[in-house]
Amino acid sequence: MAMIETVNLTKKYGELIALDNLNLTIDEGTCFGFIGPNGAGKTTTIKILATLLKPTWGEARIDGKTVGYQNHLIRPLIGYVPDFMGAYQDMTVAEYLEFFAACYGLTGAKRETTIADVLALTDLSYKAASEVNGLSRGMQQRLAVARVLLHDPKVLLMDEPSSGLDPRARIEMRELLKELRRMGKTILISSHILYELGELCNAVGVIEQGKLIFAGPVSEIMARAKVGQVVQLVVEERTNEAAELLGKLKGVLRVDIADESGVRRIDVTLEPNAVLSPSELASRLLANGFRLARLHPEQVSLETAFMRLTKGIVS
């Protein structure tokens, strides 16, 4: 079942097109990573879904309800975490959550229980009496997540929640998001820390210049990025002859010899959609009397996929 859906979603600021006919479907329970260069349209998309911006045309729907027409039904379903939370002077963590719990209509014992639960989930119980302004950036971001969990939303919209965090705080945030995913939340998260999205998300969307370039499972984007895969080989002797042999094989686009700390390495670039596999390269060398010292197929990461599928263009 689609929990988030956009149909020809477009946002214009004068002549600038921030979103260009975005068609996106995110199923219930999916953790969806939204990636793209600055200015690509990620924040605009998230703000429209959070009912904070009106689209120029097209539609956005949350759980079947249309943004702009059924906002009063959508807001109880979503939790929006911006990249920076606002400052609340002289408020303690507990007071901050008390205020928002009251806004969500929680009262009495249910309010106290809910606040205690979200503090425990975000590992902030020991900071309940601390002032919000005195928290570290990482703790403030965890508190922002605690705030949006008070009303137990189905959908979490998170705009770079790890932005500006130190390594430890990023790890803590990632583990918190994994727990929320295990709880069955539908999560749309934008981030520039792509290796974390690769670990966290089961689907991704790549956006550039307001247009969606790719959307689908992480495994699919990895497979698509493998075109032109590079295989690194080292033979014990006769490197030039080995390179010449490999260069004649069908499916090999290019062969280069590189020097790696005094060791001559052969880099074989395979053609897009080549049937030839790294193991076949090794077999050909062994069959021709070469002794293989190392074979290392290129490991495609989410960063590699992003660089290959985008051009760095912004709106």
Rounded to an integer, the average pLDDT of 45-52 is 96
CA–CA distance, 249 with 151 (Å, rounded to integer)? 61
**CATH code of 90's domain:** 3.40.50.300
**Calpha distance 46→189 (Å, rounded):** 9
| Two structure tokens written together for 290 | 């070469």
Planar angle of CA 51, 53, 55, nearest 5 degrees: 105
Q: Domain check: are 84 and 160 in the same one?
A: yes
Residues 165, 242, single domain; the answer is no
For 65, phi then psi, to 5°, come to -100, 140
**Domain identity same for 96 and 239:** no
Under the banding of pLDDT at 50, 70 and 90, the label for residue 315 is very low
SS3 for 177? Answer: helix
Last residue of one domain, picked from the residues 224, 243, 275? 224
Same structural domain for residues 244 and 109?
no
- CA 131 from chain centre, in angstroms, equals 31
Q: Which of 55-59, 173-177, 294-298 has the highest mean pLDDT?
A: 55-59
Domain assignment present for 306: no
Residue 4 one-letter amino acid: I
Instruction: Identify whether residues 146 and 206 lie together within a single domain.
Output: yes
Residue 29 lies in a domain: yes
| β-pair partners for 166 | none
d(CA 201, CA 216): 11
Q: Is position 105 within any domain?
A: yes
The whole-chain average pLDDT of the chain stands at 88
Coil, helix or strand at residue 301 = coil
Is there a single domain that holds both residue 104 and residue 55? yes
Task: Name the range with the highest mean pLDDT among 198-212, 271-285, 294-308.
Answer: 198-212
Containing 121, the helix (H) or strand (E) segment is helix 108-121
CATH number, domain at 292? 3.30.70.100
The answer on 265 and 216 residing in a single domain is no
How many structural domains is the chain composed of? 2
Top-confidence residue, 180 or 195: 180
Whether residue 288 sits in one domain with residue 153: no
Which residue segment(s) compose the domain that 251 sits in? 227-299
Pairing between strand 203-208 and 263-270? unpaired
Inform me whether the pLDDT recorded for 87 exceeds 50: yes
Residues 168 and 262 both lie in one domain: no
Do 199 and 231 sit in the same domain of this protein?
A: no
Regarding whether 233 and 114 lie in a shared domain, the answer is: no
Do 147 and 241 have their domain in common? no
